[in-house]
Structure 1
Amino acid sequence: MDDLIHRLVRKYRTNCPFELADALGIHIRYADLGSATKGLYFRKLRRRFIVIHNGLIPEWQRFVCAHELGHDRLHKGISRFFMEEHSYFRPGKLERQANRFAVALLGAGQPIESGEPLENYFMRIGIPRELVHTDAL
Structure 2
Amino acid sequence: MHEMIQKLVKKYRTNCPFDIARSLGIHIRYTDLGKTTKGLYFRKLRRRFIVLHNGLTPEWERYVCAHELGHDRLHKGISRFFLEEHSYFQPGKWERQANQFAVLLLSEGQPLLPGEPLDVYLPRIGLPREASKFWISPTEQKFGYAGFTDID
TM range (shorter): 0.7 to 0.9
Take 1:124 and 1:79, find their aligned partners in 2: how far apart are those partners?
33
CA RMSD of aligned residues (A): 1.8
1:86 aligned residue: none
> Identity, % of aligned pairs?
72
Q: Give yes or no for the alignment of 1:62 onto 2:62.
A: yes
2:48 aligned residue: 48
Deviation at 1:78, TM superposition (A): 1.5
3-state SS in 2 of match to 1:40? strand
Take 2:27 and 2:106, find their aligned partners in 1: how far apart are those partners?
20
Larger % of helix: which?
2
Compare 109-118 and 99-108 and name the one that shifted more.
109-118
Structure 2: state its 5+ residue gaps: 82-90, 136-152
Q: How many equivalent pairs are there?
A: 127
**Larger radius of gyration, structure 1 or 2?**
2
Q: Give yes or no for the alignment of 1:104 onto 2:104.
A: yes
Deviation at 1:130, TM superposition (A): 3.1
TM-score, structure 1 normalization: 0.86
Take 1:63 and 1:123, find their aligned partners in 2: how far apart are those partners?
12
**Cα deviation digits, residues 68-123 of structure 1 (max 9, x gap):** 00000001111347xxxxxxxxx811111111100110011011122110111111
2:15 aligned residue: 15
Q: How does 1:1-137 map to 2 (within 5 A)?
A: 1-80=1-80, 92-132=92-132, 134=133
Structure 1: state its 5+ residue gaps: 82-90
Take 1:47 and 1:79, find their aligned partners in 2: how far apart are those partners?
14
CA contact (8 A) 2:59 2:126 kept: yes
**Amino acid in structure 2 at the alignment position of 1:92:** G
